[in-house]
């Protein structure tokens, strides 16, 4: 049995549920109010299961492991075998979370980031990158200064989940039940921990109506540092192209399929960028497979919705991809246009906020 710390109780409750199903102890880091709710009522995660029309709701209180929650100030990372960073990059500099991140770095607890935006220490593990030049892509690069690169790994947040409208903060629904694809740590013992968790989740079953169900969303550990980067072509082809010139947003399916040839070209260019960094073709996802899956994505991406709602800070994977490409001597008009649209939307939102404050 392992003790796992997960920063981010919303998306993090998905992995927490799968770990608790496998008998492990999980602590979710969240606001005090949400922590009280989870500690009183547990978490509820609803999974689609093959062969069943209705979703299967998993109550964390009924699992062989445990899920509890705590506010950042109450957490001592040295007490955990593994930390999972399941928040968006811009949130790690917030009061309370920043101090927890500093304690986590000092404790040298191996940390698995489930983020679209790779933390700076992880990027330092990639040969040939000028990581210092990439710091402007991050909300606050200083948050990551104390981390040892070898103690940070990365998993792509491929599974999609959301809080259903009108539901409490301890409820999550899985929309796209894919797997968390993890890169290894620098240390084999730390990678071995990931592989044990992978095996435990694979073997776990959930009893429902007298049936032992194999639930989706698993942990898959790979040997390549570049497997999580397979998300970048998807993000640049779909998620960030949901953002229109005037701040309007479109579903991911429209962004991909309204101009399929431009989508194919954009996807291929970002894939080529990943290959230039050291990825192998088998680390990436073919465009046709992504395009087929994108047809079911009938909502705008979370980053597009955030900008439309007035956000002034978002994950800048678009800027990171552009900046890395420039280091490699690459450029693509579609990617440059995406960055310009995101920059413009952030400026509009910042100006609107300033007017409200005046």
Torsion angle, CA of 3/8/10/13, rounded to 10 degrees? -10
Whether residues 15 and 133 share a domain: the answer is: yes
Whether residues 182 and 247 share a domain: the answer is: no
Whether residues 214 and 336 share a domain: the answer is: no
Whether residues 247 and 154 share a domain: the answer is: no
* Number of domains, the chain: 2
Q: Of 221, 242, 275, which residue sits at a domain end?
A: 221
Whether residues 190 and 332 share a domain: the answer is: no
Whether residues 295 and 216 share a domain: the answer is: no
Whether residues 29 and 109 share a domain: the answer is: yes
CATH number at residue 239: 1.10.1040
> Which structural domain, as residue segments, surrounds residue 11?
3-221
Whether residues 260 and 282 share a domain: the answer is: yes
Both tokens of 267, joined, read: 């996807």
Whether residues 28 and 69 share a domain: the answer is: yes
Both tokens of 166, joined, read: 């009108």
Whether residues 93 and 170 share a domain: the answer is: yes
Neighbouring residues of 229: CB distance < 8 A, sequence distance ≥ 6: 118, 156, 274, 277, 279, 283, 284
Whether residues 182 and 291 share a domain: the answer is: no
CATH number at residue 178: 3.40.50.720
Full pLDDT tens readout for the chain, 358 residues: 999 999 999 999 999 999 999 999 999 999 999 999 999 999 999 999 998 999 999 999 999 999 999 999 999 999 999 999 999 999 999 999 999 999 999 999 999 999 999 999 999 999 999 999 999 999 999 999 999 999 999 999 999 899 998 999 999 999 889 999 999 999 999 999 999 999 999 999 999 988 999 999 999 999 999 999 999 999 999 999 999 888 789 999 999 999 999 999 999 999 999 999 999 999 999 999 999 999 988 989 999 999 999 999 999 999 999 999 999 999 999 999 999 999 999 999 999 999 998 7
């Amino acid at each position: 049995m392992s003790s796992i710390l997960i920063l981010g109780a919303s998306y993090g409750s998905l992995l927490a549920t799968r770990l608790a199903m496998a008998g492990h102890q999980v602590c979710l880091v969240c606001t005090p109010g949400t922590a009280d709710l989870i500690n009183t009522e547990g978490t509820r995660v609803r999974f689609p299961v093959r062969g069943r029309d209705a979703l299967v709701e998993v109550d964390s209180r009924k699992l062989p492991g445990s899920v509890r929650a705590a506010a950042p100030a109450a957490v001592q990372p040295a007490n955990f075998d593994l930390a999972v960073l399941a928040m968006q990059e811009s949130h790690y500099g917030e009061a309370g979370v920043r101090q927890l991140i500093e304690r986590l770095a000092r404790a040298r607890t191996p940390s698995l980031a489930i983020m679209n935006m790779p933390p700076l220490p992880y990027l330092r593990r990639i040969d040939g990158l000028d990581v210092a030049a990439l710091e402007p892509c991050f909300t606050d690069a200083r948050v990551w200064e104390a981390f040892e690169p070898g103690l940070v790994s990365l998993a792509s947040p491929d599974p999609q989940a959301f809080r259903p409208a009108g539901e409490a903060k301890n409820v999550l629904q899985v929309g796209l039940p894919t797997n968390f694809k993890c890169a290894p740590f620098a240390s084999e013992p730390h990678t071995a921990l990931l592989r044990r968790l992978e095996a435990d989740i694979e073997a776990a079953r959930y009893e429902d109506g007298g049936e032992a169900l194999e639930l989706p969303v698993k942990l898959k550990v790979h040997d390549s540092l570049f497997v999580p980067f397979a998300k970048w072509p998807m993000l640049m082809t779909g998620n960030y192209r949901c953002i229109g010139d005037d701040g309007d947003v479109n579903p991911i399916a429209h962004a991909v399929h309204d101009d399929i040839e431009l989508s194919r070209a954009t996807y291929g260019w970002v894939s080529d960028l990943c290959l230039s960094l050291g990825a192998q073709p088998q680390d990436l996802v073919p465009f046709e497979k992504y395009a087929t899956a994108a047809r079911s994505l009938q909502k705008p991406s979370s980053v597009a919705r955030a900008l439309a709602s007035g956000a002034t800070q978002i994950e800048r994977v678009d800027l990171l991809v552009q900046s890395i490409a420039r280091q490699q001597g690459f450029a693509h008009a579609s990617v440059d246009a995406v960055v310009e649209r995101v920059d413009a939307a952030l400026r509009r939102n910042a100006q609107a906020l300033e007017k409200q404050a005046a």
